[in-house]
């Protein structure tokens, strides 16, 4: 459930760990996220699978706390699974190691790859500064290609 929420919302580890049942609106499939880094709140959107996983998690805990385990326990358990991606990577290679925060980058990367406008990605990531989001712009396929083709079509019609 933790990884699914990370991949669905792009939220940071601390944000996910702080979630309570009242943060979720299952009817609209949204979640209110507290960004501790920027001291702000923002909205995340949930898939049907994420809604079901959260409901099961809350039911299993028998409380409004979504993730009852401590943050270090959650990180340790998930990191053990992520280590399969790091088998051939040196321990001090921080750039290429897969860690829990990688799920946040994966969320943003897939948005960019699927053509999501950069300002929408900024909003979904709750980045205060667009420069943080621009690192994902290079992943956008054929950035501007459709706009140029549309422009050419318009010019050709007017020139007739």
pLDDT, block means (10 residues), the chain with 160 residues = 96 96 97 96 97 94 89 90 90 90 96 94 96 91 71 73
pLDDT at 37: 94
- CB count in 10 Å sphere of residue 28: 10
pLDDT at 160: 63
pLDDT at 22: 97
CB 107 within 8 A of CB 45: no
CB 33 within 8 A of CB 41: yes
- What global pTM score does this model have? 0.83
pLDDT at 141: 78
């Amino acid at each position: 459930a933790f990884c699914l929420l990370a991949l669905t919302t792009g939220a940071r580890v601390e944000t996910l760990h702080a979630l309570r049942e009242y943060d979720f609106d299952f009817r609209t499939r949204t979640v209110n996220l507290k960004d501790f880094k920027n001291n702000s709140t923002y909205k995340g959107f949930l898939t049907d699978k994420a809604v079901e996983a959260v409901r099961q998690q809350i039911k299993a805990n028998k409380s409004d706390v979504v993730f009852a385990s401590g943050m270090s326990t959650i990180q340790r358990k998930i990191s053990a699974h992520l280590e399969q991606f790091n088998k051939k990577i040196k321990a001090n290679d921080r750039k290429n190691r897969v860690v829990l925060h990688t799920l946040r980058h994966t969320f943003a990367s897939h948005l960019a790859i699927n053509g999501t406008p950069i300002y929408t990605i900024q909003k979904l990531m709750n980045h205060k500064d667009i420069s943080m989001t621009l690192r994902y712009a290079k992943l956008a396929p054929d950035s501007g290609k459709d706009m140029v083709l549309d422009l050419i079509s318009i010019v050709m019609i007017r020139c007739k």
